[in-house]
Amino acid sequence: MLKPKLSRKNFLKLVGSFGALTLISRAKRAYGLIQSDPLFSFVVAPDIHVQHPDSAVAPNISYPFVEEKFNAIISDINNGAQFPTPDFFMAPGDMVHGGLLELLAPDHQKYAEMLATLTIPHYPGVGNHENKQYQGIAAYEAAYKSTFGSDKLNYTFTHGGVMFIVLDNSGYILDSHAAAIARDTWLQTLLQNNPSIPKIIACHIPLIPLREESVLAASFGFTSYKMRTTKMLNIIEGYSDSVIAIFTGHLHLTGVKLRNSIYHIGVSGTASYPCHYGHVKVFSDHIDIKMYKPPQTYVDQSRNIHGIPRYTFDYTDADHTTGEAYVAGNPDEQEFTIALPVSKQISGETILENRNKAIPIKFSVISDQQGFLISAEPKGKYNLTVYSTDGRLIKNLAEGSLNNKIEHTFRPQSAGAYFVKLQTESGIFYRKAFFSK
């Protein structure tokens, strides 16, 4: 029997009528929907828990194979073995283990050293292990700020027609705390000034329970299984017609909840079990999300913090009837599609029909003590920019439209690694360059 033809528009109407994540992938298979290339893609990986070797002294010892698992993520990103190389990498908290105040700096140093091999921009977020849950306390934030910048607590960037907002909710603090007031005031202003652009938010601690609440409180064992107060959530829900999703970590489990038209997506991270990190493909009218794991050699089920051996049994709830489903999520929480209503559909900076395909274009960056010599031969419209490795825009170098060779020089103010980004009508290209004075 021939399958009926189904346009993407009609498919999304069909998915909307199902009203459940469980049926989205089934509908896609049933109708054989052919996906075009995404506007862009990115990786989300919280809870990595990197630890400097000198910090691994009992009882402050991180999980096994944290370096190997982080290297596996970086390898997947750089080599394109699991998926085409994404546009950027988001790490919403607990990048480091940081068992004690004096260990925060060396652990951040170790993470930065490992991050140097990443070939795409990196956007960090603060978790309770970056500051020992002392949000807003200078001594405990110093290592994070020194590594990533003092402007990387609460910040925003725009990519492909989507506003990304990274928020610091790392401490179990009240709304009256100075750090919470500063964050919430900044967030309210940002959303008021940008009411229409589609938005994706990332923070460390979930804003709502991602499992049956009484069960999750028991299985997690800490009161921070969700954010302590609801003011930040209330602010965000006031703009639910433009906020698509909120990515979180902290729980070391994977789950998805839909509340007031906003998807709350918890990614377990790779430190313990089930070792998930997320790959997100963004299209104009839907978003595809899939969880991946490092090599099985490094995946240790005994590190499950929601079951045996931490407890004498594996926790379950009404929607997750096995211990494995409780911690790893049901299949439709590990791979799913978000259909975007009209108010959240994405225009993209440009339509990149040939994204991540081999395109004959010349683009090189030569570095020396004088700076960077950048050469390229774009065809048609182009934009040339320089970013720091943590995703900060350093400078817009040039833009225009031509079919000839362009050459630009750029001297960074500080030594270190940088990304040079060339965006053309046929694709987005990055070159990593190092500058030493």
Give pLDDT, residue 289.
97
Q: Is 248 within a domain? A: yes
Q: Please tell me whether residues 198 and 320 are part of one structural domain.
A: yes
The alpha carbon of residue 41 and the mean position of all alpha carbons in its chain are separated, in whole angstroms, by 10
Q: Is 354 within a domain? A: no
The beta-strand segments (E) located in 283-405 are 286-292, 335-339, 363-368, 371-376, 380-388, 393-402
CB atoms near residue 150 (< 10 Å)? 10
Residue located via tokens 């589609």? 198
Q: Is 20 within a domain? A: no
Q: Please tell me whether residues 150 and 249 are part of one structural domain.
A: yes
Q: Is 380 within a domain? A: yes
Q: Please tell me whether residues 185 and 233 are part of one structural domain.
A: yes
Q: Please tell me whether residues 191 and 287 are part of one structural domain.
A: yes
Q: Please tell me whether residues 278 and 369 are part of one structural domain.
A: no
Question: 128: domain CATH number?
Answer: 3.60.21.10
Q: What's the pTM value of the predicted model, to 2 decimals? A: 0.76
Alpha helices in 19-135 (DSSP H): 24-31, 66-79, 101-115, 128-131
Q: Please tell me whether residues 231 and 99 are part of one structural domain.
A: yes
Give pLDDT, residue 381.
85
Residue located via tokens 């999520």? 329
Q: Is 33 within a domain? A: no
Tell me how far apart the alpha carbons of residues 87 and 77 are, in angstroms, rounded to a whole number: 9
Q: Please tell me whether residues 335 and 369 are part of one structural domain.
A: no
Question: 418: domain CATH number?
Answer: 2.60.40.1930
Q: Please tell me whether residues 278 and 410 are part of one structural domain.
A: no
Residues 6 or more apart from 94 whose CB is under 8 A from it?
46, 47, 48, 49, 127, 128, 129, 130, 204, 249, 250, 269, 271
Burial class of residue 312 in the structure, from the number of CB atoms within 10 Å of its CB (0-12 exposed, 13-18 middle, 19+ buried): exposed
Give pLDDT, residue 404.
73
| Domain end residue (candidates: 344, 372, 403) | 344
Each residue's pLDDT tens digit in the chain (437 positions)?
233 334 444 444 444 433 444 444 444 433 334 446 899 999 999 999 999 988 777 677 888 999 999 999 999 999 988 999 999 999 999 999 988 899 999 999 999 999 999 999 999 999 999 999 999 999 999 999 999 999 999 999 888 889 999 999 999 889 999 999 999 999 999 999 888 889 999 999 999 999 999 999 999 999 999 999 999 999 999 999 999 999 999 999 999 999 999 999 999 999 999 999 999 999 989 999 999 999 999 999 999 999 999 999 999 999 999 999 999 999 999 999 999 998 898 876 433 333 333 345 678 888 777 888 888 887 788 889 998 866 778 999 988 887 778 888 999 988 877 888 888 876 777 777 777 76
**What are the C-alpha distances in Å from 302 to residues 70, 81, 361, 424?**
19, 28, 48, 48
User: Is the preceding omega at residue 309 within 30 degrees of 0, hence cis?
Assistant: yes
Q: Is 35 within a domain? A: no
Q: Please tell me whether residues 328 and 375 are part of one structural domain.
A: no
| Domain end residue (candidates: 313, 344, 375) | 344
The CA-to-CA distance between both ends of the chain, in Å, stands at: 68
Give pLDDT, residue 5.
38
Q: Please tell me whether residues 293 and 148 are part of one structural domain.
A: yes
| Domain end residue (candidates: 344, 375, 405) | 344
Range of the domain at 409: 363-435
Task: Provide the number of structural domains found in the chain.
Answer: 2
Q: Please tell me whether residues 374 and 254 are part of one structural domain.
A: no
Q: Is 210 within a domain? A: yes
